[in-house]
Amino acid sequence: MGGKIMRIPAACCGLLALALFSTQSAGQQPLFFGDPLPGISAQDFERFRIGLEDFLEVEDPEEGLGPVFNGRSCAECHSIPAIGGGGSITEIRAGRRNPDGSFDPLPGGSLFQLFSIPPHNCQESPPPEANVIATRKAIPLFGAGLVEAIPDETLSGLADPDDRDGDGVSGRVHWLLDVGTQTTRAGRFGWKAQQATLLTFGAEAYLEEMGITNELFPLENAPNGDAERLRFCDPTRALEDVPDLSTGLRGIDNFEAFLRFLAPPPRGEITDTARQGEQVFARTGCDACHVPVLFTGASAHPVFDRRLVPLYSDLLLHDIGTGDGIPQGDALGEEIRTPALWGLRVRRGLLHDGSAATITDAILRHGNEAAFSREQFLALSKEEAEVLLAFLQSL
Ligand code: HEC
Ligand code: HEC
């Protein structure tokens, strides 16, 4: 990684170290948002800490930022309510839907980089041909390492693409070729489940969000696909994410380590009402997609070995009528991956575009595959709806 190293304030790491030891003694529950996974070794904690430093590092053009970008550091968009969380800004995807229904992402790809480095003559904007413009919110990253460790077979076991059981819910695995491992994998990260591993997601984000080329994504983004403009706008031609001389690690390795060891959100208080609400959640059919618990596979690494992952998601693609019209990989424009509901109590601006202000608004937007569940929700008594919301607010 290039140049300037962001210093983590001593107070931050003191707190982290405290969290490390206090959570170790308290068992599996992390105490705070942004903690490392309880029970990791001192060596893994060091990888987490170095990763956090890179995640916070604010990049300059001399270090490879740009020519086009959406943010200068990962943390800029992933910091609510703690580093590694979500964010309030949305980014733009756009393209053209043709009369025959096919989709053209237009030159430069469907993601638009809204900023450019000085002299600021390279930023992208949707061209006049674009007739689909969508926005997407950043996804909180807490517990990402546990999600990565859930076996592909678990996801294919949950999938029912042709709705054979006739319940109206037909989740699909997003199978894809993972760039990092060159193997076919079950996607699980991103609103379209467009990536399967943290290394590849982080590497793609480094290029797409910050304009930093790396070994997995070595080609700079040309503004609106215009190679001529790229030549004028891009002062740094060489590969930008090179291994650090002292650690031998690339920036993308450090992001992976930070995300892998980032603990899941600490659970809110589980009152009796919240417990009753969980039963309503199941009765209302929410758990057909928001599957309460999945498990990691067998792993030589104790913190990932057959662990419970209470994420409230099946990580599959569904059409609930909220799709953004942007196909991505094999995911259709209508499809969105079920978001995990853990940590819901600290999220504001729900659904992929942040357009639902409250949990009730988000539920009422569910249709198509979730139409039955929405009806069940509407048929709840006032008291039942209240305990359901109390449960959701405890997540
Ligand atoms: C400009 C804002 C922005 C910046 C900067 C940014 N992200 Fe994101 N991040 C997003 C958005 C938006 C999404 C959802 C994208 C989607 O699915 O289309 C996301 C999603 C993710 C996910 C998927 C999480 C999940 O559980 O599905 C990971 C992992 C991630 N980002 C890592 C990173 C890393 C690592 C960096 C720094 C290299 C980074 N992000 C920089 C906005 C940002
Ligand atoms: C058929 C699958 C399915 C069912 C059933 C379902 N959901 Fe969802 N849920 C989704 C998908 C997919 C999204 C994401 C939609 C989007 O972002 O456009 C979502 C989004 C949400 C969100 C917003 C989360 C966020 O972080 O933005 C909440 C809250 C939620 N669902 C709660 C519920 C509740 C409560 C029920 C039962 C009444 C339910 N869901 C039933 C698939 C489902």
Q: Give the number of the ligand closest to the Cα of residue 317.
A: 2
For a pocket test of ligand 2, which of 312, 320, 350 has the largest count of ligand atoms closer than 8 A to its C-beta?
320
Burial 357-375 (b: 16+ CB within 10 A, else e): eebeebbebbebbbebbbe
Q: Whose Cα sits closest to atom 26 in ligand 2? A: 350
Predicted pLDDT of residue 198: 98
Q: What is the Å distance from ligand 1's center to 205 Cα?
A: 6
Q: How many residues does this entry show for the chain?
A: 395
CA–CA distance, 104 with 231 (Å, rounded to integer) = 25
What is the spatial distance between Cα 213 and Cα 232, in angstroms, rounded to a whole number?
17
CA distance 270 to 350: 22
236 CB within 6 A, ligand 2: no
**pLDDT value at position 119?**
86
- Cα 170 to Cα 159, 195, 373: the distances in Å are 7, 20, 13
Ligand in closest contact with the CA of 68? 1
Atom of ligand 2 nearest to the CA of 377: 38
Specify the pLDDT at position 53: 97
Q: 103 near 333, Cβ under 8 Å?
A: yes
What residues flank ligand 1, with Cβ below 6 Å?
Answer: 70-71, 74, 76-78, 91, 136-139, 141, 144, 189-191, 198, 201-202, 205-206, 209-210, 255, 259
Q: Which region holds residue 67: left if phi is over 0, alpha if psi is between -120 and 50, else beta?
A: alpha
Name the residue among 218, 73, 86 with its Cα closest to residue 139: 86
- Whether omega before 81 lies within 30 degrees of 0, making that bond cis, reads yes
Distance CA 165, CA 159 (A): 11
Could you tell which of 69, 78, 311 is best to mutate to test the pocket of ligand 1, judged by most ligand atoms within 8 Å of the CB?
A: 78
First to last CA, the chain: 36
Type of residue at 341 = L
Residue 376's identity, in one-letter code, is Q
Mutate-to-test residue for ligand 2 from 316, 332, 366, highest number of ligand atoms within 8 A of CB: 366
Task: Report the alpha-carbon distance of residue 84 to residue 329 in Å, rounded.
Answer: 25
Spacing, Cα 246 to ligand 2 middle (Å): 45
- How far apart CA 154 and CA 173 sit, in angstroms, is 10
Does the beta carbon of 373 lie inside 6 Å of ligand 2? Answer: yes
Measured from the Cα of 376, ligand 2's closest atom is: 38
**Are 52 and 36 spatial neighbours (Cβ–Cβ below 8 Å)?**
no
Q: CA-to-CA distance for 199 and 45, rounded, in angstroms? A: 18
pLDDT, position 28? 65
CA distances, 116 to each of 121, 210, 357 (Å):
7, 10, 31
The CA-based dihedral angle spanning residues 75, 326, 196, 67, taken in that order and rounded to the nearest 10 degrees: -40
**393 CA → ligand 2 middle, Å:** 14
Which structure tokens are listed for 343? 């940590």
Residue 373, token pair as written in the block: 């569940």
User: 309 with 296: CB under 8 angstroms?
Assistant: yes
Cα–Cα distance measured from residue 300 to residue 165, given in angstroms and rounded to the nearest whole number: 36
What per-residue confidence (pLDDT) applies to 232? 87
Q: What is the block-wise mean pLDDT of the chain (395 residues), using blocks of 10 residues?
A: 41 41 50 96 98 97 94 98 95 96 92 92 91 97 98 98 94 98 98 98 98 96 90 84 95 98 97 98 98 98 97 98 97 98 97 98 98 98 98 98
